[in-house]
Amino acid sequence: MATKQTIHILGLPISLGAGKRGMDTGPSALRIAGLRGRLEALGYHVHDEGDILITSQEIQNVENERMRYLPEIKRVSALLAERVDVVLTNGGFPLMLGGDHSMSIGSLAGIGAYCKREGKKLGVVWVDAHPDMNTSETSPSGNIHGMPLAVAMGHGMEDLTSIGGSFQKVHPENVVIIGARDIDQGEAALIKKLNVKTYTMYDVDKIGIYKMMQEVIEQMSKHVDHLHVSFDVDSVDPSIAPGVGTPVSGGLSYREAHFIMEALAETGMIASMDVAEVNPILDNRNKTAVFAAEIVSSCMGKRIL
């Protein structure tokens, strides 16, 4: 990752995937937290491309309770995928700001299309309290923000899996989930079926963050040309980041979260990132967005010394 590479900020102020308002203001909260200045201080050129416009859920109908707000999510995901592909093709680093985690449908579709065309192998580190591996058949809520990782691996409705092209965007052996602690029954079954490497909070406690990251980096270094990091802020404990859509107690500590980012950054493999589920409505003086901006900085190379 070149120190002077241009970072392109792409905002997707979406809350449709979660079915609740608040996360649609996440990109603005991250900007207010000084994200651009933090990245420029690290030596990057930063181009903020603004936000993709999304139709508010108040003027939409839920046509399918199993896939809530599917038409609009499909539309904006395709737009995001196109923009991500263009950034990568032109040599930039796409940094996607959410918004709920349905944004990663578009993120990974665009990255996957680019990697397929360029003959690169995509790897994904998914830092999240939830594996987001439901489908319309297994989702308890019908909320699409619980489905993006399954979609990227080719599981789910063709309306979503075909965005960016009708192919598997990332292969299960090149996916690692970190920090999971709230897993639905259908997700657990798919994780086991696909043999996706998953470090739950039990594993983090048992083997420690350092050894865990050694294993993650070893797995990615063997097979991956393009490493994407997807960071859901609810991966950390709510005491650190209260302003998230679906908080779950017992999450990563402040230092564990930063260590994950710092260890990945040291590999020089990270080529794209998205940050999801910042909900300022539930926050305290933008505390969660500030934390998320700090996490992005660590992912992009910021060190204590």
Q: Which residues are catalytic?
A: 101, 128, 130, 132, 145, 232, 234, 277
- Angle (nearest 5°) at CA 95 between 94 and 98: 130
Write out the two tokens for 159. 């309306």
Residue type, 72: E
Handedness of CA 170, 172, 174, 177 (dihedral sign): positive
Between CA 6 and CA 92 the distance in angstroms is 5
Q: Are 93 and 1 in contact (CB under 8 A)?
A: yes
Between CA 252 and CA 209 the distance in angstroms is 10
Q: Are 182 and 201 in contact (CB under 8 A)?
A: no
Distances from the Cα of 21 to the Cα of 25, 119, 179, 208, 279, angstroms = 9, 39, 25, 36, 8
Q: What's the Rg (C-alpha) of the chain?
A: 17
Between CA 302 and CA 117 the distance in angstroms is 31
Cis peptide before 99 (omega within 30 of 0): yes
Q: How does DSSP classify residue 156?
A: S
Between CA 109 and CA 261 the distance in angstroms is 23
Between CA 84 and CA 92 the distance in angstroms is 9
Between CA 243 and CA 181 the distance in angstroms is 18
- Give the residue from 83, 23, 49 showing the smallest Cα distance to 234: 23
